[in-house]
Structure 1
Amino acid sequence: MTGKKPAPPALDPSRDALFLDFDGCLVDIAPRPDAVIVPRDLPGILTELSEALDGALAVVSGRSLHELERFLEGFEGLMVGSHGSEARGMEPPMAEAPQHLGAVKEDLAGFAQEHDLIFEDKSHGAAIHFRSNPAKQGQVEAFTEALTERYDGFMIQPAKMAVEIRPQGFSKDGALAILSDLVQFDGRKPVYAGDDTTDEPALAWAEEHGGFGIKVGDGESVARYHLAAPTNVRDWLAAALRVE
C-alpha cells in the first residue's frame, strides 16, 4: 500500500531537479477550486529552492497558468499549467487555444448549472467537480464522454471528485520531458511530487529517468516514496533549505 512506502530522502540541491504539483501537493484540496489556502511563506520557499537548485524547479499543474501565478504571487520561477499546454519561463507548448473550446466550455457550464455542480473554467479546457454530490459521478462521466465524441481534439482527464476535458497531446509527463531539455535541468535527477491520477504518468517518468516520485496522500502509486499531506511536502521542502 502507498501508506507503507517510506518518506523521500532529503532533496539534494546540487544534483536534483524538482517538479511539484499544486493542488493536493503544495496546498490542501478545497471544497471549491477557488477556495484553496496558500500558506503565506510558500512563494518564498519556492523562490529560495529555485535559487538553491540553480533554476531547476518547476510547478506543474492542471490549473490554468494565470491561476497559478495568482495563488503563488511572489514566486517568479518556472510554471506549467493546463496539464502541459501552457507555460511561463519557456516556449508556450500550445500557441493557440484549441478549436471548439468555447462550445465545450459552454456545454460543460450548462450541465454543471443544471445539476447544481461546480464548473471550473480553464485556459484550454474545463472541469466539473462533483465533490458536493458524489452520486452525480456517473452522469458527469457519461456527459463528458459524449462531449469528447462530439468535439475533436479533446480528451477526458479523471481527477479527484472531478472530470476534466483537456486538449489531446498534452500531459504532465510530457511537460517534464520538455522541461528536462532546458539547460538548467541538464544532468540532474528528476524528482516529482503529486497526489492525483493526473500525476501518475509524471511520477512514472521521474522513476524511469533516474530520479524518483513522491506520492502525496492516499492511493496506490508507481512512486517509490510517500508523504501523507501537503504540510509534509512543505516541511520536506523547507528542510532542504536548512541543510548547510
Structure 2
Amino acid sequence: MSADPSRLPPPPPPAHDWALFLDVDGTLLDFAPSPDGVHVPADLIDDLRRLHDAFGGALALVSGRRLETLDALFAPLWLPAIGLHGLQRRDGGFAGHEAPREIASVLAAARALGAKYPGVIVEDKGITIALHWRNAPAAEEPLHEFASSALIELPGYCLQPGHDVLELRPDGHDKGDAIIALLQSEGFRNRYPVFIGDDLTDEHGFEAVNARHGISVLVGMRANSAARHGLHDPGAVRAWLREAARLLAPEAVR
C-alpha cells in the first residue's frame, strides 16, 4: 500500500498494446451534488473515441453505475463496459445474481429515513441501493446503522463504501473480477492492463492489474492505496487522456 499519494509518479505515456480500464465518477467526471448532475465534456467523448480506436477497441468503463446510465452519459459512444462494480455485464445479466423480493421493502425504508435528512439521496440501481450523504453529512451515521441492519433482510448482500456513499450490493464480483474477465475476452487478451480509479471500490481493480504487471493509477489524494501511479483529479485525468489521444492518434486530433 502506498503511504503518501502525493509522491505517486504520473502514469507513463500510453502504447498501442494497452488495455485501458476507466472508472467514471471521481475519475473521468467531477463529482456533482447528485449522481444525475454530472457533466460529460464533449471533448472527453472525442478523446475516448480516438483512444478506443487507437487501442483496437480495448478501452472499457468499469463503474458503479448501471450500463444503461453509462451509455446515456457517453452517447453516442457505446464502449465496452462493466456496471454496478462488476455485477452487471454488457449482455444484460447480473453475474448470476437477481434482486431479492425483500429489496423493495429495504428501498422504501431507506427512502423514509432519507426523507428525515434533507440532501440525502437514495439511489435505486435495481439490484443494489446506494445511500448518498454528500449533501447531508449529519446523515452518515444513521445511514450506516440502517445499512448494517438491512443486511439481515438481504442475505448474500454486503456493504460497499465509497466517497460519501454506502451501497447495499450482492457479495462477490468486484471490479477486479470484471477487469480479469475482460482481459480474457477477444480484443483485450494479451494486452498490457492499465486501470485508473479513485475510490475504495477501485482497489480490487488496482490489485488485479498489479498482479498482471500492469499500471494502476489513483486519482486524488486518498492514502493507503494499492495504486502505483497517481493523477491529482479528474481534470488531470482528462488532460492525460487528451495527451494520450494526441500521441497515439495525432492525425485525428485537431
Q: CA deviation at 1:177?
A: 1.4
| 1:171-221 CA-partner distances (Å, limit 9, x unpaired) | 111111111110211111110000111111111111111101100011121
Q: Is 2:179 aligned against 1:176?
A: yes
Q: CA deviation at 1:60?
A: 0.4
Which residue of the partner structure matches residue 120 of structure 1?
A: 123
Which secondary structure does the structure 1 equivalent of 2:82 belong to? strand
Q: Quick check: 2:97–2:170 contact (8 Å CA) kept in 1?
A: no
CA 106–75 in structure 1, closer or farther in 2 if over 3 Å, else same = same
CA distance in 1, matches of 2:77, 2:88: 17
CA distance in 2, matches of 1:47, 1:105: 37
Using the aligned pairs only, state the percent identity: 34
Which residue of the partner structure matches residue 157 of structure 1?
A: 160
Q: Is 2:192 aligned against 1:189?
A: yes
Aligned positions of 1:94-105 closer than 5 A: 94=95, 97-99=98-100, 100-105=102-107
Q: Quick check: 2:19–2:55 contact (8 Å CA) kept in 1?
A: yes
Which residue of the partner structure matches residue 241 of structure 2?
A: 237
Give the one of 203, 208, 215 matched to 1:205. 208
Which residue of the partner structure matches residue 219 of structure 1?
A: 222
Q: CA deviation at 1:91?
A: 6.9
Give the one of 42, 62, 65 matched to 2:64. 62
Which secondary structure does the structure 2 equivalent of 1:243 belong to? helix
The residue type paired with residue 233 of structure 1 is V
Q: CA deviation at 1:136?
A: 2.1
CA distance in 2, matches of 1:49, 1:92: 27
CA distance in 1, matches of 2:89, 2:43: 23
Q: Quick check: 2:99–2:126 contact (8 Å CA) kept in 1?
A: no
Q: Which runs of 5+ in 2 are unaligned?
A: 249-254
CA distance in 1, matches of 2:219, 2:173: 22
Deviating more after overlay: 100-109 vs 56-65: 100-109
| 1:86-122 CA-partner distances (Å, limit 9, x unpaired) | 132x573436632133233222222212333111121
Which residue of the partner structure matches residue 27 of structure 1?
A: 29
Deviating more after overlay: 105-114 vs 148-157: 105-114
Let me know the Cα RMSD of the aligned residues: 1.6
The residue type paired with residue 236 of structure 1 is W
Which secondary structure does the structure 2 equivalent of 1:215 belong to? strand
CA distance in 2, matches of 1:54, 1:115: 47
Which residue of the partner structure matches residue 48 of structure 1?
A: 50
Runs of 4+ residues over 6 Å off in structure 1:
none
The residue type paired with residue 187 of structure 1 is N
Which secondary structure does the structure 2 equivalent of 1:11 belong to? coil
Q: CA deviation at 1:123?
A: 3.0
CA distance in 2, matches of 1:31, 1:62: 17
Deviating more after overlay: 71-80 vs 40-49: 40-49
Which secondary structure does the structure 2 equivalent of 1:149 belong to? coil
Q: Which runs of 5+ in 1 are unaligned?
A: none
The residue type paired with residue 209 of structure 1 is R
